[in-house]
A and B are shown apart, each in its own frame.
Chain A
Amino acid sequence: MSRRVLWSVLGVGAIVGFIAFGAGAFKSNLTPYVSFQQARATSDAVQVAGKLVPGSDSFEEGSSRLMFTLVDDKGDTMRVAYKGLKPGNFHDATQVVAIGRFHRGTLEAEKLLVKCPSKYQGVEEKEYRSSSS
């Protein structure tokens, strides 16, 4: 009987531990959608969405970063730096979502989501990110 109790305690402990671990990881990895203003005010990872300012993108050779400017509905702008590859349909995007942290005047994006005109709705494309997984 005591062995049963021991196993039950271990089992419940493992389950509770795993849930706690998962919930902790979940909370610390959440990236809320925020406005540009809010993004500038925090050092947490966030995601912002905006339109690409035409012609604002350039490839910075020294740091190998893609730099570009997003503008939101209110006309607020945000400079974004991205270490990864320029998404193929970047210039046709109706909206660009950047996920990362704001640091010294630019949003350092870890991941970009590029939304294209509805023509390709339902078509599966991939995300672009700087690190593979």
Chain B
Amino acid sequence: MFLPGAIALWVAFFALIASTLFYFRSTRGHTEARAWARQAYGLATAGVVIASGVLLYLILVHDFRIHYVFSYSDTSLPTSYLISTFWAGQEGSFLLWLLWGMIVGLPLIRYAQHYEDRTLIVYNVAQLSLLLILLRQSPFRFLADLPPGQVPSDGQGLNPLLQNPWMTIHPPIMFLGYAATAVPFAFAVAALWERRYDEWTKASLPWALVTVVTLGCAILLGGYWAYVTLGWGGYWGWDPVENSSLVPWIASAALVHGMLLQRARGRFRKLNFSLAILAYVLVVYATFLTRSGVLADFSVHSFVDLGITGWLVGNLTGALLIGFGALIWRWREIPSEPGDEPFLSRTVFFVLAIAALLGTAAMVLLGTSAPLITRIVTKPSQVGPAFYNRVTLPVGILLASLLGVVPFLHWKGTSKEFRKRLLVAGALAAVATGVGTAVGAHGVLYVAFLLVALFAFFSNLLKTTDEVRTKRFRAAGGYLAHVGLGLMLAGIITSSAYDRSEKVVLPLGESKQVMGYTLTFKGVEKPKPTSREAMLVEVREAGGRTYLARPRMFRNEKSNQLVANPDVRVHLTHDLYVSPIEFDPGRPAETGRTLEIAKGETAKVGPVSILFDGFDMSGSHGGAAKVSIGARLTVATGTVSQLITPRLTSGENAFIGEPVAVPGVQGVTVAITGVNASAGRVRLALTGLGGGVAKRAVLHRGETLTYRNTKLTFDDFDLSNFDPEAGKINIGVVFKVTDPAGKIGEITPAYHGGEGGETHDDAAVPGLAGVLLRVGRMNPDEKTVEVEVLDPSAPGDPGEPMRFSADVTVKPMIGLLWTGLVVLLAGGLLAVVRRSEEFSAASQPAAGA
């Protein structure tokens, strides 16, 4: 255990306990204890801040003795990704959550007013539950079994998929949202405890909005990250981890609406208590699901049980007992005001929206918990995306319809402009949907969903412009958020229900047509040895414009993991999404052969044998501008043997080897590519040798292959030198050769296998200069042999071009989704500002804070 960090956590732990006890004493009338409680809370915050600083420091200085630093970072990471290593693993992300929780608590103390003592007791207990996990599973522990005095020189590195700007900021935002859910929970329990059932909603409304904005933002970033880096083409997959941020988000959205309702109508107290407690319990439950390993078999997120399952179950039980226990305890005392509300009123619509949101949350929760539920009765099973898509579609239609009507409703009835405005919004939505169906939208439910989503968009847009026109900018936040929501829903439908996708295999340089685009694979781009390989694909659009798409496919050296990133081209009406499937490097074409020989040695290349006699230095005179070295080669082909002297001459910038024709074989040249005079070695390149495979066949015994009018008949195997037990795997194959003149001969090419790899002893075909017969794989049972005719005049192996396979998808109007989400969050942020100002104006901060 790295002591400074561990000590800081323990200090925070005891300080939080002290703070809780002092606050408790304060509730018993000893109000002087409150100052102590605040001090203790400050100390605890300092402890957590220091612990976080220590962890960050350990990561930045690469202290690989620490298990956490070793597991998630390495020395090659830039500083930005080193910082994000902080929350790359379980322990660090719990610490981040705790850190946010402590920071959120500071303004909470200031603004909790008369609720302070009890709110902070509950809040501290929530913080303690996180702190206990960190003490149990410390980020500061050393690597186990490390020999004394030894430190690993490098760590295991950060998952390459997480090395992405979006992923560095996603977790901090997410955990701020998680931390903020504890505030309404603490307020709710404190309010029940104190029997003051109303004011707490005003104090915690800004925090509920903070949760909605931050979790929404985190979901947006996570989805966008998945879309642009993972390459399966989607942004949402209903994975347990995604769901565990979605469900608290929906519950918090329901809570916000419930609080607004209570504020305006002075009713629905029990509903809000339930919602505030539920939102927090759901966060704790989500943590249990995703961090305990219970879903290990059902999510790719590979959560392994780190031994904290018991703690997480304990936290969940604690949150349930404290929250709902307090609610049940006071249930009959909470005043409720019965009374009917007209159906066409904001009140009823809010209630319906809350019900629909809760219904959605319940279904998502049911689906995510499927493995746990089914385990009770049968084998653990899970449900796929089809389930979520099916159950959320009708609720989505209902929600969007409510959303379209509600801007023009008052709390107790309709507004003056109700009919007119709804007609306009409805007409605009109908026209837009009509355009949509004209360009391909189809399916009754999808079109209906699209219609109501657009209705919600236009209706809220009208209301927003009304508010802006009457200079009520602050009140526009909620409507603006719903403008975004409408856009978002429309984008979800168009991009997921109407996307088109096709797979394509692109050989290098060959153009292929895909959904109106012409794709040409131009090669692999790797400008620096450390760069990640990008596949260059030229895309020609229908209009004739072209661009270079760069989907990436590379192997992470640390983990040897194959990583594929798509290329996303954003257009106004759609995205073109090119996702890598497979890359086949092919085989390079055979252009020539190189060999290196020492003085006095002979090398045999195909039909040519070359003896290196020595250097010829006659061309290099002292002081001459040009230096020239020759190599005396005795070249023999068949019966011809001759001395040639290719030369290497100094040129402007480099030495140039002039190719010299090899006598006796048409078109073959030899050139020097390098010399090592002191070692007496020369490097040669032979071109035009061909040696390409002119013909390839599998022959049964007795069968004949005819090449250039010469018949080659497979006669028998020659096993005279075949003794596998002695390690001799030499198989000769006897061929009868009949030349065009009818002359008959016999040749025996051989195959050598065994330890040193396979080699071939090719036999020259009589009558055909330079033509060789090679035998390859054979099957003694079926008496077959693979033969290749090698002909110097045949072209060399042309190789195989590299090929890139990709999945090409057109995603219509997906821009609506991202734009909508951003507008939604902007509106939400406006609402946060408005509600916290409202609250501050209505109340003075507690004295002495």
User: Which residues of A come within 8 Å of B, CB atoms?
Assistant: 3-4, 15, 18, 21-22, 25-26, 29-34, 45, 47, 49, 59, 61, 64, 84-86, 88-92, 97, 99, 110-111, 113-116, 118-129, 131-133
Residue ID in chain B nearest A11 by CB atoms? B355
Q: A133-B234, A133-B496 are in contact. List 5 more A-B contacts (CB 8 A).
A: A29-B387, A34-B379, A119-B559, A122-B303, A132-B234
Name the CB-closest residue of B to A128: B232
B175 to chain A, nearest CB (A): 13
Contact of A4 among B161, B340, B363, B381 (CB under 8 A): B340
Indicate if B239 sits at the interface (CB-CB under 8 A): yes
Closest 8 CB pairs of A and B: A132-B234, A29-B387, A64-B503, A32-B381, A29-B383, A30-B381, A132-B233, A121-B304
SS of A interface (majority): mixed
Give residues 287-305 of B contacting A (CB, 8 Å): 297-304
Complex: how many Å from CA A90 to CA B553?
Answer: 14
**In the complex, which of the residues A45, A85, A97, A116 contacts B581, with contact meaning CB atoms closer than 8 Å?**
A85
- Interface stretch, picked from B51-59, B389-397, B608-616, B831-839, is B389-397
- Give the contacting residue for A125; candidates B161, B367, B395; CB below 8 A: B161
**Do A32 and B378 touch (CB < 8 A)?**
yes
The answer to whether A123 touches B237, judged by C-beta atoms less than 8 angstroms apart, is no
Contact check, B561 vs A21: say whether CB atoms are below 8 A apart: no
Contacts of A113 in B (CB 8 A): 298-300
Complex Cα gap A84–B162 (Å): 22
A127 & B237 in contact (Cβ 8 Å cutoff): yes
B563 touches A88 (CB 8 A): yes
CA distance A59 to B89 in the complex (A): 34
B86-107 at interface with A (beta carbon < 8 Å): 88-90
Distance in angstroms from B565 CB to nearest chain A CB is 9
Tell me whether A88 and B562 are in contact (CB under 8 A): yes
29 cross-chain CB contacts under 8 A: A26-B366, A33-B297, A47-B382, A59-B581, A85-B232, A85-B564, A85-B579, A86-B582, A88-B231, A88-B561, A91-B562, A92-B559, A97-B297, A111-B384, A111-B385, A113-B300, A120-B159, A121-B302, A122-B90, A123-B161, A123-B301, A124-B162, A124-B301, A125-B300, A126-B226, A128-B232, A132-B235, A132-B809, A133-B237
Q: Which residues of A contact B581 (CB under 8 A)?
A: 59, 85-86
A4–B341 Cα distance when bound, in Å, is: 10
Minimum distance in angstroms from A20 CB to a CB of chain B = 12
Residues of A within 8 A of B89 (CB): 122-123
When distances are taken between beta carbons in the complex, the residues of chain B under 8 Å from A49 are 297
Within 8 A of A (CB), among B496-521: 496, 499, 503, 505
- How would residues 654 to 684 of chain B score, 1 for a CB under 8 Å from any chain A CB and 0 otherwise? 0000000000000000000000000000000
CA distance A123 to B809 in the complex (A): 28
> Given the complex of chains A and B, what is the CA–CA distance between A110 and B374 in angstroms?
21
Query: Provided the pairs A88-B563, A122-B303 are in contact, do residues A30 and B374 lie with their beta carbons within 8 angstroms?
Result: yes
With both chains docked as a complex, state the minimum distance between the C-beta of B546 and any C-beta of chain A, in angstroms: 25
CA A26 – CA B518 in complex, angstroms? 43
Task: Name the residue of chain B whose CB is nearest to the CB of A92.
Answer: B561
B834 CB → nearest A CB, Å: 32
Which of A4, A15, A111, A122 is most buried by chain B, counting CB atoms within 10 A of its CB? Answer: A122
* Residues of chain B whose beta carbon lies under 8 Å from any beta carbon of chain A: 71, 88-90, 156, 159, 161-162, 226, 230-239, 241, 297-304, 306, 340, 355, 359, 362-363, 366-367, 370, 374, 378-391, 394-395, 496, 499, 503, 505, 559-564, 579-582, 805, 807, 809
Nearest Cβ in chain A — how far from B343, in angstroms? 8
A58's nearest neighbour on chain B, judged by CB, is B582
Closest chain B residue to A46, Cβ basis: B381
Are B380 and A126 neighbours in the complex by a CB distance under 8 Å? no
In the complex, are the beta carbons of A89 and B582 less than 8 A apart? Answer: no
Contacting pair A31 B505 (CB below 8 A): no
**CB-defined contacts of A114 to chain B, threshold 8 Å:** 300
CA A47 to CA B563, docked complex, whole Å: 25
Chain A residues with CB under 8 Å of B298's CB are 113
With contacts A30-B374, A32-B381 taken as known, whether A132 is within 8 angstroms of B300 at the C-beta atoms is no
- Measured in the bound complex, the distance between the Cα atoms of B768 and A93 in whole Å is 54
Nearest-Cβ distance from residue B739 to partner chain A, whole angstroms: 43
**Contacting residue for B384 out of A4, A84, A85, A99, CB 8 A:** A99
Contact across chains for B238 and A85 when beta carbons are under 8 A apart: no
Q: In the docked arrangement, what's the CA distance between A14 and B809, Å?
A: 39
Report Cα–Cα, A34/B582, bound state, in Å: 30
The answer to whether B390 and A124 touch across the interface, beta carbons within 8 angstroms, is: no
Cα-based distance from A99 to B382 in the complex (angstroms): 10
Question: Do A26 and B232 touch (CB < 8 A)?
Answer: no
Least CB distance from B115 to A in Å reads 33
Contact residues in A for B582 (Cβ distance below 8 Å): 59, 86
Contact of B389 among A3, A119, A133 (CB under 8 A): A133
Q: Which residues of B sit under 8 angstroms from A29, Cβ to Cβ? A: 383-384, 386-387, 390
Question: In the complex, what distance in Å separates the CA atom of A84 from the CA atom of B805?
Answer: 12
Find B301's partner among A59, A86, A118, A125 (CB 8 Å cutoff): A125
Question: Shortest distance in angstroms between B759's beta carbon and chain A's nearest beta carbon?
Answer: 25
The smallest C-beta distance from A122 to any residue of chain B, in angstroms, reads 5
Q: A21-B394, A25-B391, A85-B579 are in contact. Are A129 and B300 (CB under 8 A)?
A: no
> Which single member of A45, A118, A133 contacts B304 (CB below 8 Å)?
A118
CA distance A116 to B563 in the complex (A): 13
A125-B159 in contact (CB<8A):
yes
Beyond A85-B564, A111-B384, A133-B236, whether A22 also contacts B303 by CB under 8 A is no
Q: Which residues from B are CB-within-8-Å of A118?
A: 302, 304
Contacts of A119 in B (CB 8 A): 71, 156, 559
Q: Which A residues lie within 8 Å of B306 (CB)?
A: 122
B232–A84 touching, CB < 8 Å: yes
Residue of A nearest to B582 (CB): A59
Nearest Cβ on chain A to B306's Cβ, whole angstroms:
8
Which chain B residue lies CB-closest to A110? B384
Partner of B300, one of A15, A64, A110, A127: A127
Contacts of A61 in B (CB 8 A): 505
Verify B387–A25 contact, CB threshold 8 A.
Answer: yes
Q: How far is the CA of A91 from the CA of B395 in the complex (A)?
A: 40
CB distance from A104 to the nearest CB of B (A): 21
Measured between beta carbons, the chain B residues less than 8 angstroms from A25 are: 387, 390-391
Q: How far is the CA of A40 from the CA of B564 in the complex (A)?
A: 33
Per the bound structure, the CA–CA distance linking A122 and B234 in Å amounts to 22
Q: Are A22 and B300 touching (Cβ within 8 A)?
A: no
Q: Which residues of B are found within 8 Å of A115, using beta-carbon distances?
A: 300, 302
Beta-carbon contact of B302 and A116 below 8 Å: yes
Shortest Cβ gap from B645 to chain A (Å): 51
Contact (Cβ within 8 A) B384 A31? yes
The smallest C-beta distance from A6 to any residue of chain B, in angstroms, reads 11
Q: Assess whether B389 is in contact with A88, with CB atoms less than 8 Å apart.
A: no
The answer on a CB contact under 8 Å between B232 and A126 is yes
Contact B387 A132 (CB under 8 A): no
Choose among A59, A110, A124, A132 the residue that contacts B499 (Cβ–Cβ < 8 A): A132
- B380, B381, B581 — most chain A CB neighbours (10 Å): B381
Closest to B562 in A: A88
| CA A13 to CA B560, docked complex, whole Å | 56
Query: Which B residues touch A85, using CB under 8 A?
Result: 231-232, 564, 579-581, 807
